[in-house]
């Protein structure tokens, strides 16, 4: 009897651990990559950041790695904490595979915005644009089950984006990050999140 209970507890613990790992594997991997990038300091940041001229000369990895490097430790911590909080809200609404697809599309939209619209942008670092897209994609994914919560958060996000486009970065955001905030990255990320969330809902419906 006791042995059976012990086995059941171990099985329950293993199942719970597997579920936690499944749910948090994506944000923890992103945080780990950001941490490794930050430990490289200015030298690695120079190699990994999005920079228009090097990309034009074939350094295409910057289109991805630029979102994983930061201005400094304060900027890194701000984005890492924001990612974990957003994931706690919407992380369970999509599978790992669909999250990876959403992240890829969000990054593609941000980079396209930088390349084709913000031609004057010399370089960029940070995850904030991706964070806006992740939040919006997750809100759309769980719209049917969490309408009130999703509508409220989407409205707050829209107000933030409008404020940034009209007025500029939120007060205190630049001092906290340790440098200039590229607000268009937030807009492009939100567009990418909207697009990915819509496409995933259409695919799920089919």
* Residue 145, token pair as written in the block: 């089950």
pLDDT single digits (tens) 80-102: 999 999 999 999 999 999 999 99
Each as own residue / partner, the long-range contacts of residues 187-190 (CB below 8 Å, 24 or more positions apart, any chain) are 187/113, 187/132, 187/161, 188/109, 188/110, 188/112, 188/113, 188/114, 188/129, 189/106, 189/109, 189/110, 189/128, 189/129, 189/130, 189/131, 189/132, 189/133, 190/132, 190/133, 190/136, 190/157, 190/161
pLDDT > 80? residue 134: yes
pLDDT digits (tens, 9 = 90+) for 148-204: 999 999 999 999 999 999 999 999 999 999 999 999 999 999 999 999 999 987 776
User: What pLDDT, in 10s, does the model give residues 16-60?
Assistant: 566 777 889 999 999 999 999 999 999 999 999 999 999 999 999
């Amino acid at each position: 009897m006791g042995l059976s209970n012990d086995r059941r507890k171990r099985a329950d613990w293993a199942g719970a651990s597997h579920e936690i790992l499944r749910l948090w594997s994506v944000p923890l991997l992103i945080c780990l990559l950001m941490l490794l990038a930050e430990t490289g300091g200015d030298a690695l940041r120079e190699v990994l950041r999005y920079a228009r001229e090097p990309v034009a000369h074939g350094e295409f990895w910057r289109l991805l790695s630029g979102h994983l490097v930061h201005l400094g430790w304060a900027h890194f911590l701000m984005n890492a904490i924001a990612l974990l909080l957003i994931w706690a809200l919407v992380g369970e609404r999509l599978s790992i595979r669909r999250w990876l697809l959403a992240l890829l599309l969000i990054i593609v939209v941000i980079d396209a915005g930088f390349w084709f619209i913000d031609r004057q942008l010399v370089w960029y670092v940070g995850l904030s644009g991706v964070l806006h897209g992740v939040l919006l994609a997750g809100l759309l994914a769980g719209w049917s089950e969490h309408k009130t919560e999703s509508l409220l958060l989407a409205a707050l996000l829209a107000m933030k984006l409008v404020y940034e486009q009209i007025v500029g970065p939120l007060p205190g955001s630049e001092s906290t990050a340790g440098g200039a905030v590229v607000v268009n990255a937030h807009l492009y990320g939100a567009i990418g999140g909207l697009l990915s969330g819509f496409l995933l809902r259409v695919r799920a419906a089919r």
